[in-house]
Amino acid sequence: MAQVNEANSLFFALASFCCGIFLLERGADNFVDSTAIVAKRLGVSPTLIGLLTCGAEWEELVVIAVALSQGQYSMALGNLMGSSIANVLGSFSLGLVCAQRVMAFDRSSKIYSTALLSLVSVFLIGLYVVPAKAGWLAARDAHRDGAEGNEKDVTPSEQELQGQIRSSGGWGEDERGLLSANARSSDKRQKAGRRPYKPLRRHVMKLLFGFIALVVSGYVLAQSARIIGDQLGLSGTVTGTTILSLATTLPEKFVAVLAGSRHQHGILVANTVGSNIFLVTLCGGVLFIWAGAGDDGEMKAMFSLSEALMMWISAAALFLVVIVGALPPVDAAVPVYTA
DSSP 198-224: PPHHHHHHHHHHHHHHHHHHHHHHHHH
Give the model's pLDDT for residue 328: 43
Integer Cα distance of 80 and 57 in angstroms: 10
Which class is 47-140+236-338 in CATH?
A: mainly alpha
Model pLDDT, residue 191? 46
- CA 12 to CA 15: how far, in whole Å? 5
DSSP string, 131-151: HHHHHHHHHHHHT--SS-TT-
For the chain, what are the domain ranges? Answer: 47-140+236-338
CA distance 103 to 121: 26
Structure letter (DSSP) for residue 195 = P
Single-letter amino acid, residue 181: A
Q: Say what the pLDDT of residue 320 is.
A: 92
Residue 21 and residue 180 in contact, taking contact as beta carbons nearer than 8 Å: no
Tens-level pLDDT at each residue, the chain (339 residues): 667 777 888 888 888 888 887 887 777 677 767 777 777 777 776 666 666 665 556 667 767 777 787 777 777 788 888 888 888 888 888 888 887 777 778 888 889 899 999 999 999 888 777 655 544 444 444 555 454 554 444 444 444 434 443 444 444 444 344 334 444 444 444 444 444 556 778 888 888 888 788 778 777 877 777 787 777 777 666 666 666 677 667 777 777 888 888 878 888 888 888 888 888 888 888 888 876 655 545 555 555 678 788 899 999 999 998 888 644 444 444 444 333
State the pLDDT at residue 144. Answer: 55
